[in-house]
Amino acid sequence: MIGAVIVIASGLLVQVADRDIEWFDAHPKERAETLKRCHADYRLAETAECQNAEASGSRDLMRMFPPVPQPKTGKKNNAQHVFQCRSGVRSVPDCRDG
């Protein structure tokens, strides 16, 4: 019983960083310095501050490479359409055109 209470109590402790993801978004130079320190020591990599800097860096990377638009073929070949045809939601004639 005591072991369960300790496990529950330890699960409630969450490390909070002084600098959040938005702060690192607004301060790219400091983010780069923080990431350099975090990548040099694996113990630091698990801290909340390093994780926030990593998340900010990932956001920045996504802004640099926007998603590539898929070509329009005119066919209904998206996953939702296929699922609806296979599950019987769509009628058979509608499922033959894609």
**Per-residue pLDDT tens for 75-85?**
555 677 677 77
The reply to whether 81 falls in a domain is no
Nearest CA among 92, 4, 84, 18 for reference residue 51 = 18
Taking the complete model, does pTM exceed 0.85, yes or no?
no
Question: How many angstroms separate the CA atoms of 20 and 44, rounded?
Answer: 16
For residue 95, is it within any domain? Answer: no
User: Considering its fold, how many domains does the chain have in total?
Assistant: 1
**pLDDT tens track for 16-70:** 788 999 999 999 999 999 999 999 998 999 999 999 999 999 988 877 777 767 6
4 in any annotated domain:
no
42 is a domain residue: yes
* Residue at 98 is within a domain: no
The answer to the question of residue 1 being in a domain is: no
Domain membership of residue 30 (yes or no) is yes
In a domain, 51, yes or no: yes
pLDDT for res 7: 46
Domain range enclosing 51: 14-66
